[in-house]
Amino acid sequence: MLYRPKADTIRRRWQNNSHICFFTKPESNLCWVKCTKRIACNKQLHDLQHGQEGMLVWVLFLLCQGVAPALTQDLCQRDAPNGYKVRISLKTALGEDAYEWNQSEMFFFRATMAFAMRRHFQMETYNVDNIILCVQTSRVSFWFVVTSPDNATMLIPKADVEKAVRMARHRINNAFLLSDRTLEFLGIHPTLAAPVNPDTPPWLIVFGVVIGAVCAGIIALLVSSLLQKRRKEKGMTEDGQDEEDMQVKGVENGINLDGTYNRGFTDDDRFTKL
Amino acid sequence: MRLQLPNPGLEDRILSHEDLDKLETEEAGSGDRPKWDNKTQYMLTCVGFCVGLGNVWRFPYLCQSHGGGAFMIPFLILLVLEGVPLLHLEFAIGQRLRKGSLGVWSTIHPYLAGVGIASMFVSLMISLYYNTIMAWVMWYLFNSFQETLPWSQCPLNYNLTGLVSECEQSSPVDYFWYRETLNTTPDIGENGGLQWWMVLCLISAWAVLYICIIRGIETTGKAVYVTSTLPYVVLSIFLIRGLTLKGSLSGVVFLFTPDLTELTNPTTWLDAGAQVFYSFSIAFGGLISFSSYNSVHNNCEQDAVIISAVNGFTSVYAATVIYTIIGFRATERFDNCLGGNILTLLNTFDLPEGNVTENNYDQVLQSLNGTHPDIIQGLNLKTCDLNTFLSEGVEGTGLAFIVFTEAITKMPVSPVWSVLFFIMLFCLGLSSMFGNIEGVLVPLQDLGVFPKSWPKEATTGTTCVLCCIAGLIFVQGSGNYWLSLFDSFAGSIPLLIIAFCEMVGVVYLYGIDRFNEDIKFMIGHKPNLFWQITWRFVSPAIMFVIFVFYFITKVTETLLYKTWNPESENFPTLEEKPYPAWIYVIIFILAGIPSLAVPGTALYKCLRRKRDTKAEQQELKTVSNHIDVNDKAQDGKSHT
């Protein structure tokens, strides 16, 4: 089990005591202390400070130098064949609410990945130890590999890791308050959301409403103009009958005309004028 | 002496001033001809006819591409010298002669009937394709009633593994326009069959038009209360919304920044003149019809000035609104471009977020280029320039259906803005269609194509149904190419010829003296010196110059059209192809027939009159024989 104490405490101690810090990767700024239990590690550090258990420390140191760093160096490296690069964009996703990416977050990430692996391979129990991170940059990006719980030197193949990540992607995103775009697993494409296909396209519904209203309007107008015409015709025939009656009775402008027809006022226009 | 061509018989054909006054007061006469319910309806109808889609999608483009604020100068000058006189002329002649366009020109001189026929033909052609644009607007309107607008994202391909490739290569808005709306073919020769969804939209567009014109201006007059005022309301809403978006002011500044060197470019003046001319919907015959329904003493001079001012103001206002939205879109694109570049840099060099921002992007890029030039080269970073994005000037359908719809998808609550925008476009187009259809219906009635016994509803219905069927040509796969063909040729050169003939006909055939007297009778004072000079010399000269330049440009340029071809190399850039040979026949029919109708009808009438006078002379001989016989009979009678 790896115990990773707070970086600045070790650094301070490192400044005082040169043989406490073990580097697994010289270029990174972090120190790693290998020990069995956390409390023991503290005690160890304390003892180391006071020069006790120096031999044990040296043995461990040699071991670390010889074996473990080499191991992890082999397993997790840039462009590892079975590893994935993760890129996180906190400021883009959360803006001012962005939290700081520190060791705790890294631990959380390893725990989440272990959860994802457990979920996928339901028989095997993955632990935080099985997720190894390396090549961390200030972008924030890093590589990770997954070791098998039975054999710490064997890596889980890329395809299986991909399947596990795909299955738990939603949970992983939500754990970090991020999205597919801001928590990228380079090489694992996000699954596209299935489109929602309504039974009737919505435009047809609107079209139906509009056409129905327009047709109703046209029919109403045509019917009203037809009724108007009929009413006018009926009114005209009634008026026409009244007029005829009036003419027969010799009524003009409401005045009864009675009298003889004066031939003196007939038109002479039958004959052409001279 | 004023130049006046001989025009015998004019007095017999027109109503005298006394007759006109009698017509005004008599009740019986007015039953025959429709009348406006009130002046507001008339003004709104004319404003609606003049203010159309061109104000929204042609003027802003012209303004921005011809030197921004400097374009206002030729536009306003030509508005005053060309637009207002032509408008006043059409209003006055319609009000005086009280007939539709065909009737007016036949009355002025029988040989000028060709001008009326050409007007009718042009109005018909334009009605056909204009209502197809209405159908497109309706399609987008129907599709706006969804939470996620369909043009905001690419659809997934068949196996649900990725996006449709055509959409991925271009953009969701392009894909929705070219594929899901038009389903366009790569060539005008392939017609691609009728697109059923577009047929439905076309039918709905014609149905809405029918219900508005079913009883002529009786129903149109009521419809314009909505269709002419709603666009202004929506434009104001968009202005307020636009000004609150980021980057809108940079759009407006870009639009109006004057570049006075453009004034020396003759194309600027030509485009300004053409824009004024087409924007006023002159020579369609609709304005003459509308003003003939007025009372005789209506102040047409005031109307012309008011409507011109409203049209000019609307153009500028719409341009401002459009460019706030375009400024927002350009800023959005610029931010995305820069953001993409910054992300690439951060990812490649594993720098912490926030190290490279928009402010220090250039410095950082330079320093990185110094240290790792080959990596930078390999990244292929795009150059992001805000002015390039702003000057991606688009006009016409591209502006409305691609650029603006894209901008709308980026605004919050997109469906609301989409619905408002397309309702505004629909109202703008519908009110213009009223005038177009009027220019078709009234000449058809005057020609006696429909039997007199048919009610008005039947004539408008038949016209709408026939136009709808003819408009099916524009809803095929290649319909978009046919539409731009009609737009370029049916609606450009013939209108210039008709307008020129109108001016010459009124000023020199009808007689400017008589026209001045008529206007004095109608509005109370003789038109002043400005009108005299513009009617007699300035406006016809401007028409002529524009016509000559247009003709030369169209005839000399090789005719190319832009196609959407997913298989072309430069996809998504539109591929330019030459027209096939048989298109030239169509072009001749579109542009040539109305233009040739003017001299053609004159010739036909001339020949017929010569034939008629010959027949009359023969008849005269026999009639005089008859009179001799009667006289003998008279002598006989008187002697008894």
- Look at B160 and A194 and tell me if their CB atoms are within 8 Å: yes
Residue type, B611: R
User: Interface pTM (ipTM) of the complex?
Assistant: 0.84
Q: Is the Cβ of B370 closer than 8 Å to some Cβ of chain A?
A: no
Which member of A139, A192, A210 has the closest CB to residue B156?
Answer: A192
pLDDT per residue over B436-489, tens digit each? 999 999 999 888 888 888 888 999 999 999 999 999 999 999 999 999 899 888
% of chain B beyond a pLDDT of 70: 95
Taking a C-beta distance cutoff of 8 angstroms, is the pair A120, A168 a contact? yes
Tokens of B399: 């502006």
Close Cβ partners of B161 (under 8 Å, ≥ 6 residues apart): A192
Q: Is the Cβ of A17 closer than 8 Å to some Cβ of chain B?
A: no
Residues of B in contact with A217 (CB under 8 A): 211
Close Cβ partners of A158 (under 8 Å, ≥ 6 residues apart): A81, A82, A83, A84
Tokens of B223: 């419809």
**Chain B residue with Cα closest to A207:** B142
User: Which residue has tokens 């993409």?
Assistant: B340
**Chain A residue with Cα closest to B163:** A192
Give the dihedral of Cα atoms A80, A81, A84, A85; nearest 10 deg: 40
User: Which residue has tokens 């995305």?
Assistant: B336
User: Which residue has tokens 């000449």?
Assistant: B443
% of chain A beyond a pLDDT of 90: 11
Distance from the A20 Cα atom to the nearest Cα atom in chain B, whole angstroms: 30
Q: Is the Cβ of B135 closer than 8 Å to some Cβ of chain A?
A: no
Distance CA B378, CA B391 (A): 29
Taking a C-beta distance cutoff of 8 angstroms, is the pair A41, A3 a contact? yes
Q: Is the Cβ of B470 closer than 8 Å to some Cβ of chain A?
A: no
Alpha carbon separation from B400 to B58, B197, B486, B538 (Å, rounded): 10, 20, 19, 36
Distance CA B534, CA A111 (A): 86
pLDDT per residue over B78-121, tens digit each? 999 999 999 999 999 999 998 889 999 999 988 888 999 999 99
B595 is in an annotated binding site: no
> Which of B8-17, B395-404, B612-621 is the most confident on average?
B395-404
Taking a C-beta distance cutoff of 8 angstroms, is the pair B388, B311 a contact? no
Residue bearing the bigger pLDDT, B206 or A244 = B206
Residue B37 in 3-state DSSP? Answer: coil
Nearest to B92 by CA among B270, B237, B305: B305
Mean pLDDT of A43-57: 48
Taking a C-beta distance cutoff of 8 angstroms, is the pair B56, B428 a contact? yes
Helix locations, A29-102, DSSP H: 38-49, 54-66, 68-75, 90-94
What's the whole-number average pLDDT of chain B? 88
Distance from the B353 Cα atom to the nearest Cα atom in chain A, whole angstroms: 6
B478 is in an annotated binding site: no
Residue bearing the bigger pLDDT, B640 or B167 = B167
Distance CA B157, CA B578 (A): 33
User: Which residue has tokens 């924030």?
Assistant: A140
Residue A35's pLDDT is what? Answer: 44
Taking a C-beta distance cutoff of 8 angstroms, is the pair B319, B57 a contact? no
Nearest to B384 by CA among B421, B358, B419: B358
Residue A25 — very low, low, confident or very high, per pLDDT cuts 50/70/90? very low
B51 is in an annotated binding site: yes
Nearest to B172 by CA among B200, B144, B151: B151
- Look at B146 and A139 and tell me if their CB atoms are within 8 Å: no
Residue B626 — very low, low, confident or very high, per pLDDT cuts 50/70/90? low
| Peptide bond between residue A140 and the one before it cis (omega within 30 degrees of 0) | yes
Residues of B in contact with A221 (CB under 8 A): 211, 214-215, 219, 457
Distance from the B384 Cα atom to the nearest Cα atom in chain A, whole angstroms: 20
> Which of A256-265, B24-33, B505-514 is the most confident on average?
B505-514
Residue A75 — very low, low, confident or very high, per pLDDT cuts 50/70/90? confident
Distance CA B352, CA A91 (A): 10
CA-CA-CA-CA torsion sign (B531, B537, B539, B540): positive
Residue B53's pLDDT is what? Answer: 92
Range of lowest pLDDT (A244-253, B131-140, B423-432): A244-253
Taking a C-beta distance cutoff of 8 angstroms, is the pair B334, B384 a contact? yes
Residue A32 in 3-state DSSP? Answer: strand
B432 is in an annotated binding site: yes
Nearest to B172 by CA among B441, B484, B408: B408
Distance of CA A14 to the CA centre of its chain: 45
Distance CA B472, CA B489 (A): 19
**Chain A residue with Cα closest to B140:** A203
Distance CA A206, CA B142 (A): 6
Residues of A in contact with B162 (CB under 8 A): 192
Range of lowest pLDDT (A23-27, B48-52, B213-217, B251-255): A23-27
The pLDDT of residue B161 is above 80: no
Q: Is the Cβ of A51 closer than 8 Å to some Cβ of chain B?
A: no
- Look at B346 and A139 and tell me if their CB atoms are within 8 Å: yes
Residue A267 — very low, low, confident or very high, per pLDDT cuts 50/70/90? low
Residue B159 in 3-state DSSP? Answer: coil
Residue B632's pLDDT is what? Answer: 54
Residues of B in contact with A141 (CB under 8 A): 347, 350
- Look at B146 and A272 and tell me if their CB atoms are within 8 Å: no
- Look at B350 and A137 and tell me if their CB atoms are within 8 Å: yes
Mean pLDDT of A137-149: 86
Mean pLDDT of B594-608: 90
Nearest to B105 by CA among B465, B448, B601: B601
Residue B291's pLDDT is what? Answer: 93
Range of lowest pLDDT (A116-120, B59-63, B157-161): B157-161
pLDDT per residue over A186-237, tens digit each? 888 777 666 667 778 899 999 999 999 999 999 999 999 999 889 988 887 7
Residues of B in contact with A225 (CB under 8 A): 215, 455, 457
Residues of A in contact with B145 (CB under 8 A): 202-203, 205-206
- Produce one character per residue of B201-238: b if its CB has 16 or more CB atoms within 10 Å, e if not: bbbbbbbbbbbbbbbbbbbbbebbeebbebbbebbebb
Residues of B in contact with A202 (CB under 8 A): 142-143, 145-146
Residue A256's pLDDT is what? Answer: 52
B311 is in an annotated binding site: yes
Residue A138's pLDDT is what? Answer: 82
pTM: 0.81
Distance from the B142 Cα atom to the nearest Cα atom in chain A, whole angstroms: 5
- Mutate which: A88, A139, A182, A222, vs B, most B CBs within 10 A: A139
Distance CA A178, CA A37 (A): 33
Distance from the A77 Cα atom to the nearest Cα atom in chain B, whole angstroms: 16
**Chain B residue with Cα closest to A135:** B350
Residue B247 backbone class (left: φ over 0; alpha: ψ -120 to 50; beta: rest): left
B245 is in an annotated binding site: no
Residue B239 — very low, low, confident or very high, per pLDDT cuts 50/70/90? very high
Residue A239 — very low, low, confident or very high, per pLDDT cuts 50/70/90? low
Residues written for chain A: 274
CA-CA-CA-CA torsion sign (B316, B318, B323, B324): positive
Distance from the A142 Cα atom to the nearest Cα atom in chain B, whole angstroms: 10
Tokens of B183: 């389903």
User: Which residue has tokens 């299986």?
Assistant: A160
Distance from the A180 Cα atom to the nearest Cα atom in chain B, whole angstroms: 16
pLDDT per residue over B541-586, tens digit each? 998 998 898 888 888 888 888 888 888 887 778 888 889 989 989 9
Close Cβ partners of B182 (under 8 Å, ≥ 6 residues apart): B195, B198, B477, B479, B480
In A72-101, the residues whose Cβ lies within 8 Å of chain B are: 87, 89-92
Residue B365 — very low, low, confident or very high, per pLDDT cuts 50/70/90? confident
- Look at B201 and A207 and tell me if their CB atoms are within 8 Å: yes
Residues of A in contact with B351 (CB under 8 A): 138-139
Q: Is the Cβ of A235 closer than 8 Å to some Cβ of chain B?
A: no
Distance from the B631 Cα atom to the nearest Cα atom in chain A, whole angstroms: 9
Distance from the A214 Cα atom to the nearest Cα atom in chain B, whole angstroms: 6
B624 is in an annotated binding site: no
Residue B160 in 3-state DSSP? Answer: coil
Q: Is the Cβ of B199 closer than 8 Å to some Cβ of chain A?
A: no
Residue A255 — very low, low, confident or very high, per pLDDT cuts 50/70/90? low
